[in-house]
Structure 1
């Protein structure tokens, strides 16, 4: 059974000077569209985790789910709201992908599920990529308690629950756009 997909776009984009990195364009196409096109075939349905006015994402035709915790406590808050959304949809798992990473593998879900059927993060030789993961809805209350207790590091939480690592051979596949210079690199990679 395919998991639901959640695109994490809830960050502040401070290194980019603010705004929505997912709306920046490569060849006239928003990064978000690149991410949707890669993730949609791998999942049963999609939502965007973003804070602020959801209307700015209306062109994508997906539900926009904001963080449920105050002060934008990081990507785990996006995972949590994604798990809550998935529970309401009757799903058992979600897969997350970052809105600023347009080249991630088209076999992301398959490899995450092969690494562990419940909880896994993507990794390359450069290390783990904690915004790309498979997450079980069954652990959402534990995640909520951890976040409310101040936990912010994804890998601390996943390691606590025996999360696996799904290895991918291409470091460039997880290249993400954090700065204006990164956007130029991404445009050249296309």
Structure 2
């Protein structure tokens, strides 16, 4: 069973501190759009978020808080995802970002195909000059305790950590700017005019 977790644990400082994933994009929340895009690709979904879980109750999904305090970043969300998958005796979990509503509809099968050792990250560009999208990844649960130890040791950068674990790229070069992420009100305004909603 392939599991998916939507990473929504950030503090959204550039959006005024509000939940980015609950902002509206053409009449629908970013979270709803991300769920619609990911749900057909996995068998079960959860949301990684901190604070009051009730604000996500309308989506009917488990909400997984970070296990580390002080908002250490998306790697802590990856760990929460891994721990959830391990609790269900699954070998891997896919993560996506809650602020990136146009990601590929074939993300999960492409990550699975690229994961030679169980770990793959989405990338655009070329093999000689990849542009990584490290919150879009397939993570084997067997390395979760390594991640836990490294987080406690101060590791914060998703890409640095993943590459040290042997992450392979899953290239998405033919689909345009599908990893456009919404960090600011201007980004949200730009997204309103996209035709790949």
TM range (shorter): over 0.9
In the alignment, which residue of structure 2 is the partner of 1:51?
50
In the alignment, which residue of structure 1 is the partner of 2:90?
91
Q: Does 1:167 align with 2:178?
A: no
Shift of 1:171: 4.4
Cα-to-partner distance string for 1:119-152 (whole Å, 9 max, x where unaligned): 0100112710011000000000000001000001
Cα-to-partner distance string for 1:156-188 (whole Å, 9 max, x where unaligned): 111111110111023410001000000001111
Shift of 1:91: 1.0
In the alignment, which residue of structure 1 is the partner of 2:184?
179
CA distance in 2, matches of 1:103, 1:155: 21
Q: How does 1:115-154 map onto structure 2 within 5 Å? A: 115-117=114-116, 118-125=118-125, 127-154=131-158
Cα-to-partner distance string for 1:67-113 (whole Å, 9 max, x where unaligned): 00011111100000111111111111100000010000010011111
Q: Is the 8 A contact 1:124 1:168 kept in 2?
A: yes
Q: How does 1:54-65 map onto structure 2 within 5 Å? A: 54-65=53-64
CA distance in 2, matches of 1:96, 1:130: 9
**SS where residue 166 of structure 1 aligns?**
strand
**SS where residue 113 of structure 2 aligns?**
helix
Q: TM-score, normalised by structure 1?
A: 0.97
In the alignment, which residue of structure 2 is the partner of 1:36?
35
Q: Which runs of 5+ in 1 are unaligned?
A: none
Higher helix share: 1
Q: TM-score, normalised by structure 2?
A: 0.93
Q: Does 1:158 align with 2:162?
A: yes
- Which stretches of structure 1, 4 residues or longer, exceed 6 Å deviation after superposition? none
* Structure 1 vs Structure 2 CA RMSD: 1.0
Deviates more, 1:122-131 or 1:28-37: 122-131
Q: Which runs of 5+ in 2 are unaligned?
A: none
**SS where residue 162 of structure 1 aligns?**
coil
In the alignment, which residue of structure 2 is the partner of 1:9?
8
CA distance in 2, matches of 1:76, 1:107: 23
Aligned length: 189
